[in-house]
Structure 1
Amino acid sequence: MSTTPNRHALVVGASRGLGLVLARELARRGWRVIATTRQEDGELRAVQGDVSGQLEIESLEMTNFDQLISLRERLTGQRLDLLFVNAAIDRGNVPIDEVSTDMFTEVMVTNALSPLRVLEVLRTLVTPGGTVAVMSSEQGSISRNTEDGYDLYKASKAALNQLMRSYATRHADDGHTKLLIDPGHNRTRLGGPDAPLSPGESIPAVVDVLEKQAGVTGLQFLDRRGETVPW
């Protein structure tokens, strides 16, 4: 476990689940962490109390562009070694012909459009050699889509991956490490109670990957073991 001092991270979407555990794990390893939440959250406050001044909380509804711009203004002068966006919603295993336009729009805006907006607005805070990362999923892998179900969620993650590919092409010369991370199937509100992994098991491995890949330029789609996930 690395404990290099004076590293700074922004975790967007840290009120619960994977994002909450990610913020806690980074702080535990000595990172100074800014964690965002949509509303006052007791769990994140509890983590803040446990990590001895390593965690700062900011308010952000990620899908609200005005709030994103306000956050950028509040963070003026900050320098980040890691910008990590964790956000996703799932509206269940609804057959695609039963998905309403409003549901489709909601999921795509939250899971694909908004994370890339966050990156574009906040990327200039990331130091040369820093890391820009987004929580993706194996569900977004087109080549591994061999089981029926959850069409909308899969499509949103595939769209996220494609948008991240475009982002990496557009900013190929910025020197940032760019990562899409598949954390595995976890027991969260999104993953459900029967998932094989807990965030406490998967997230330390995810942070190992983030720390190991720091300084490696270009875009990679990796799982929690650091292995490549096929597009």
Structure 2
Amino acid sequence: MTHTRKTALIVGASRTLGLALAAEYLRRGWDVIGTVRGNRRTGLHDLADASEGRLTIESLEMTAPEQISALRDRLATRTLDLLFVNAAITRGDLPIGEVPTEMFTEVMVVNALSPMRVVETLRPLVAPAGTIGVMSSDQGSITLNTEGGQDLYRASKSALNQLMRSFAARTAEDTRTLLLLDPGWVRTDLGGPDAELSVEESVPGVAETIESHRGKPGLHFVDYRGQVVPW
């Protein structure tokens, strides 16, 4: 009897959380496809070199719809057990009235529109009992915003959450699991040096939360500890 390993596609896997998530799924015995922007060498390439062929790398600029479609075509013969989109930017902590239009557009396109384009385009590759996950943040929670700050980043994550909710409603009969994942406040370029968690503390919990929701269709907004995050 042939054993078939599960396959995860991690979009945005070149460094920090995405890279660690790719490594975590390799440790769990999965095959992993990770995307990087352009053709530059990254830590993901080093991980691939040591993976005995279980990690393959694809180039993807997520903000280019034609590249998302091309990736779908290249992976047309693969079946994904997990599609996970890990990509976000911030451009500093400005009050919303001081945010230039170009900055607003850039952050919204990267953090909200582009992940949803990936989800919409690559969904057919995901097995009927598979999982589609997107990295969100508790900063996207309207309920938890009691202190303000990071106006644009918060708004972009709230927009992402709303778009995923709309997607879930539109595909309500789908048997796939949909996840919005809050990794916690992690020490990355995005989270900053004062964040509470290391990447090594966050990512195993993210993976475990993904696994614990396997086979539970519908949309779940949860954190790396598996706890529900309020909308």
Identical columns (%)? 60
8 Å CA contact 1:24, 1:51 repeated in 2: no
* Aligned twin of 1:99: 99
**Is the CA contact (8 Å cut-off) linking 2:48 and 2:55 kept in structure 1?**
yes
Normalising by structure 1, we get a TM-score of 0.96
Give the partner amino acid of 2:31. Answer: R
Q: Which runs of 5+ in 2 are unaligned?
A: none
Corresponding residue of 1:142: 142
Q: 1:227 to 1:5 in 2, by over 3 A?
A: farther
The code of the aligned residue for 2:160 comes to L
1:126-167 per-residue CA deviation (whole Å, 9 max, x = no partner) reads: 001100000000000000001121000000000000000001
Cα distance between partner residues in 1 of 2:43 and 2:226: 29
The aligned residue for residue 73 of structure 1 is 73
Q: Report deviation, 1:5.
A: 5.7
Distance 1:7 1:80 in 2: 7
Identify the range of structure 1 (105-114 vs 64-73) with the bigger mean alpha-carbon deviation: 64-73
Judge conservation of contact 1:5–1:31 (CA < 8 Å) in 2.
no
Structure 1: which amino acid aligns with 2:222?
L
How far is the alpha carbon of 1:49 from its aligned partner? 2.0
Distance 1:219 1:26 in 2: 22
Give the aligned partner of residue 194 of structure 2: 194
Question: Where does 1:54-73 land on structure 2 (aligned, <5 Å)?
Answer: 54-73=54-73
The CA RMSD over aligned residues, in Å, is 1.1
Q: What residue number does 1:31 align with?
A: 30
Paired with 2:151 and 2:30, the residues of 1 have a C-alpha distance of 37
Amino acid at match of 2:189: R
Q: Tell me what 2:205 maps to.
A: 205
Q: Which runs of 5+ in 1 are unaligned?
A: none
Match of 2:113 in 1: 113
- Classify the secondary structure of the residue corresponding to 2:220: strand
Instruction: Specify the alignment match of 1:44 in structure 2.
Output: 44
1:150-192: per-residue Cα shift (whole Å, max 9, x none)? 0000000000000000011111112000000000011111111
**Does the alignment pair 1:217 with 2:226?**
no
Structure 2 Cα separation of the partners of residues 164 and 124 of structure 1:
16
TM-score (norm 2): 0.96
Q: Distance in 2 between matches of 1:188 and 1:148?
A: 21
Partner residue, 2:6:
7
C-alpha distance in 2, partners of 1:65/1:205? 31
What is the distance in 2 between the residues matched to 1:218 and 1:65? 26
The Cα shift of 1:50 comes to 2.6
The residue matched to 2:221 in structure 1 has which SS? Answer: strand
Misfit runs of 4+, over 6 Å: none
Q: Give the secondary structure class of the aligned counterpart of 2:188.
A: coil
- Given that 2:15 and 2:42 are in contact with CA atoms closer than 8 Å, whether structure 1 keeps it comes out as no
Cα distance between partner residues in 1 of 2:178 and 2:170 = 12
Kept after mapping to 1: 8 A contact 2:119/2:132:
yes
Please name the residue that 2:21 is paired with: 22
